[in-house]
Amino acid sequence: MNAARTLFAEHALLPTGWHQNVLLEWNALGELTLVQPDAKTSEPVATCAGPLLPGMPNLHSHAFQRAFAGLTEHRGPGAGQDSFWSWRELMYQFAGRISPAQLRDIATALYAEMLEAGYTSVCEFHYVHHEEDGKPYADDTTLSNCLIEAASSTGIGMTLLPVLYQSSGFGAKPPTEGQRRFVRQTDNMLQLLQRLKPLCEAQGMRLGLAPHSLRAVPPDALDRAIEGLTDLDPTAPIHIHIAEQTAEVDACLAWSGQRPVQWLLNHAPVDPRWCLVHATHMNAEETLRAASSGAIAGICPTTEANLGDGIFDATAWRAHGGRWGIGSDSHVCVNAAEELMQFEYSQRLGLRQRNVLASAQQPSVATAMTQEAVAGGGQACGRNVAGLQVGQRMDAVTLDAQHPVLAALPTPELRHSAHVFASHRQSAIHSVWVGGQLRVKSGQHDLRESSQRAFAQARRALLQSSP
């Protein structure tokens, strides 16, 4: 037994549920080689401070938007007219000014914050590619490398998803001035992927592709991009924004006579490689077909609430065996447990019921949600991060059993539930491991203070440069 790669948990949440006296061992690559419940050991090993949870994958992130969070919470001209679309115009102004150094500093602070909040992996949906005037950098990987460096320095696991973006609306409408930093032709995107693949592999990261949305990627470009990606890596993840807003559904119907998810299922090889981000507005047929495809529904509850998107029909999705995970998207909130709570509460408000996301097999809402979100998020990442089981990465979170809200509770289920529904959610996290490396100790990442200072400086400069 290698004590440096061993951990003992009095209670641990495994894919099969809560177990007692769990011994975990992992190899030099950070992969679990032993997960043994009811273990007895006479050798000294590190012991958890409280219940052990699987690390949560964050399946949807726009890192630069963390510096923009909270800056649009005021009413614009025309009462009642604020929407996703008015928010988007303000976001474009912000995206148009960010520098490589600022992106790196913002992402570094964000990823450290994610780790402290229970996320151990991130799918970075990365669409700011070029210089402020829209021209490519001399090194086309410049901004992608900023994100790779941020993930590497903090230790969070990464799936990098460069975004293909070509048009401003259905029917290949020309991009707007605010989208100039996003636009790439398909061949150019495939060349970027070829350059990024060895860079990601050298850091133990995964590379995929994100066709931004059906409105931003014309059909021929979507076909060519998926074909090229599959040639490069047949199992690479594919993420796409879809059916987030009712206006998008209406525009897709006007363009094609089909709803967005309907069109995608009819024209693209949607399978378990795919993550349908948001998928808020599906009808019954779309829900059945999409769930049956094996694709993941990427739910971003706090962002969807912040933008007024609507409520995802989780009951119908899960009834058809649909798999899902969570993301923090625009980062108005960076907290894995908060996203779970918001998802459950949205269902309660929509259905006027309680404990909606529990199941017959798992009556504890917090436990059921965590198990499903970790499994679905792991699939969306395209990495072995689907929970505490042999062959998966040793990505784990320990709760503090002595936290005031958790103390004296008699079972791990109740402590976990208190963490999600009754604590400050992040405050009960004690330790976080990624690939067997301890990245958060006593609730704090080593880079917290330095990264937060750099973040504040970057945001100050961006605000001072605003028109």
Whether pLDDT at 123 is above 60: yes
- Judge whether 334 and 296 are in contact, CB under 8 Å: no
Distance in angstroms (rounded) separating the CA atoms of residues 66 and 330: 6
Distance in angstroms (rounded) separating the CA atoms of residues 51 and 245: 39
Distance in angstroms (rounded) separating the CA atoms of residues 121 and 57: 5
**CATH entry 1.10.3720.10 includes domain 54-381:** no
- Tokens 């094996």 — which residue? 294
Kindly list the domain boundaries of the chain, sorted by start residue: 5-53+398-448, 54-381
- Tokens 């790669």 — which residue? 5
- Judge whether 337 and 425 are in contact, CB under 8 Å: yes
Residue 40: in which H helix or E strand, if any? none
Ranges 412-421, 424-433, 434-443: which has the least confidence:
424-433
Residue type for position 74: H
Which of 313, 329, 395, 400 is catalytic? The answer is 329
Distance in angstroms (rounded) separating the CA atoms of residues 259 and 59: 24
DSSP 404: T
Q: How many CB atoms lie within 10 A of CB 460?
A: 11
Question: Higher confidence at residue 247 or residue 89?
Answer: 247
The predicted structure's pLDDT at residue 326: 98
What is the bridge-based pairing of β-strands 429-434 and 396-399? antiparallel
The predicted structure's pLDDT at residue 389: 98
Looking at 17-123, list the stretches that DSSP marks H as alpha helix, in order from N- to C-terminal side.
84-95, 100-116
Alpha-carbon torsion (31, 36, 37, 40), positive or negative = negative
Residue 56: in which H helix or E strand, if any? strand 56-61
Name the percent of the chain lying above pLDDT 70: 98
Whether pLDDT at 199 is above 80: yes
Average pLDDT of 34-46?
89
DSSP 176: P
User: Could you give phi then psi for residue 151, rounded to 5 degrees?
Assistant: -65, -40
193: left (phi over 0), alpha (psi -120 to 50) or beta: alpha
Provide the terminal-to-terminal Cα distance of the chain, rounded to the nearest Å: 60
The predicted structure's pLDDT at residue 78: 62
Nearest to 162 by CA among 121, 123, 220, 106: 123
**Helix axes 448-464 and 100-116, enclosed angle (nearest 10):** 140
Structural tokens at position 145: 């490398």
Domain made up of 5-53+398-448: CATH architecture:
Roll (2.30)
Whether pLDDT at 92 is above 60: yes
Structural tokens at position 319: 């009834």
What DSSP assignment string belongs to 110-130?
A: HHHHHHHTTEEEEEEEE---S
Name the percent of the chain lying above pLDDT 90: 89
- Judge whether 155 and 90 are in contact, CB under 8 Å: no
Q: Would you report the helix, strand and coil content of the chain in percent, each value rounded to 5?
A: 40, 20, 40
Residue 278 a catalytic site member: yes
Which of 278, 281, 403, 419 is catalytic? The answer is 278
The predicted structure's pLDDT at residue 88: 77
Whether pLDDT at 90 is above 80: no
The predicted structure's pLDDT at residue 465: 81
- Tokens 């998928």 — which residue? 279
Whether pLDDT at 73 is above 90: no
Q: What is the pLDDT of residues 319-375, one digit of tens each?
A: 999 999 999 999 999 999 999 999 999 999 999 999 999 999 999 999 999 999 999
The predicted structure's pLDDT at residue 467: 63
Q: What is the pLDDT of residues 166-184, one digit of tens each?
A: 999 999 999 999 899 999 9
